[in-house]
Amino acid sequence: MRILIVEDEAGIVRFLERGLTAHGHGVLTAGDGEHGAYMAVEEPVDLVLLDISLPGLDGHGVLKRIREKRPGLPVLMLTARDDLRNKVDALDSGADDYLTKPFVFEELLARIRALTRRADQQQSARVCHGDLSMDLLSRRAWRGDSKIELSSREFALLEYFMRHPGQVLSRQQILSAIWDYAFDPGSNVVDVYVRYLRSKIDRPGEPSLISTVRGAGYRFDPGAE
């Protein structure tokens, strides 16, 4: 597992780096919030250890940026402050867990294992591309922090697109997968629902996440923006 440590205290970074490396984890480090937020979003890390008190952008600000771009990335927040308000704020900001410094390293490892198991269990129930995400259990979808209200048919259509990113899907394929009946050349139901979906997931002034491929169908292109 690749773990990102966002912490400005060099002694704690060395302590964590030695321990995690000894247990077979790859480790990346960032000493300030801006760098940490960038690495969490751009680097292929599996979990973030995030200090709340950081120079410049604090841990809450870093967490907000992570959730905008990688809502499913497990984040364990670290702080020397042990008051209830900070714990509540950390969890309300979107942290998956919270650990107060100083801590026993074995407890940290146990928390990491628990978060990893939880992330693995959620993986099959969550589909994410960029800042667009779907939770298949709760039947909810988000673009960044904004919840998207979808009908059951729109939800099924978006899931179908997100499970086939970059592929050109014909109207017949889409109709068979979502509506479960043979393609009627005179029907425009697919085009109508793609239009509905675009109006809900696209942002004004930005390219659509669903491209029309003339004469072939549609392609979900999460890199379009």
Which residue type, as a one-letter code, is found at position 213?
V
Count other Cβ atoms within 10 Å, centred on residue 155: 18
Cis peptide before 55 (omega within 30 of 0): no
Within a domain: 225: no
For residues 76 and 82, the model is more confident at: 76
- Render pLDDT for 190-211 as a digit per residue (tens, 0 to 9): 999 999 999 999 999 999 999 9
Within a domain: 58: yes
Q: 97, 123, 149 — which closes off a domain? A: 123
Within a domain: 52: yes
Q: 69, 102, 123 — which closes off a domain? A: 123
Instruction: Give the span between the Cα atoms of 18 and 27, in whole angstroms.
Output: 9
Instruction: Give the span between the Cα atoms of 30 and 215, in whole angstroms.
Output: 48
Q: What pTM was estimated for this model as a whole?
A: 0.55
Looking at residue 78, which CATH number applies to its domain?
A: 3.40.50.2300
Residue 102 DSSP SS3: coil
Segment 70-88 shows an average pLDDT of 79
* Confidence band of 79 (pLDDT split at 50, 70, 90): confident
User: Based on the domain organization, do 17 and 103 belong to the same domain?
Assistant: yes
* Confidence band of 225 (pLDDT split at 50, 70, 90): very low
The beta-strand segments (E) located in the chain are: 2-6, 26-30, 47-51, 75-79, 97-100, 126-129, 132-135, 140-143, 146-148, 168-169, 210-213, 217-220
User: Based on the domain organization, do 80 and 167 belong to the same domain?
Assistant: no
Tally the residues of the chain: 225
First to last CA, the chain: 29
Instruction: Give the span between the Cα atoms of 175 and 177, in whole angstroms.
Output: 6
Q: 123, 152, 187 — which closes off a domain? A: 123
What does the DSSP 8-state code read for residue 93? Answer: T
Q: Which residues pair with 2 in a beta bridge?
A: 26
User: Based on the domain organization, do 138 and 93 belong to the same domain?
Assistant: no
User: Based on the domain organization, do 35 and 106 belong to the same domain?
Assistant: yes
Looking at residue 172, which CATH number applies to its domain?
A: 1.10.10.10
User: Based on the domain organization, do 81 and 186 belong to the same domain?
Assistant: no
If we measure between CA atoms, which residue out of 19, 21, 113, 12 comes closest to residue 30?
12
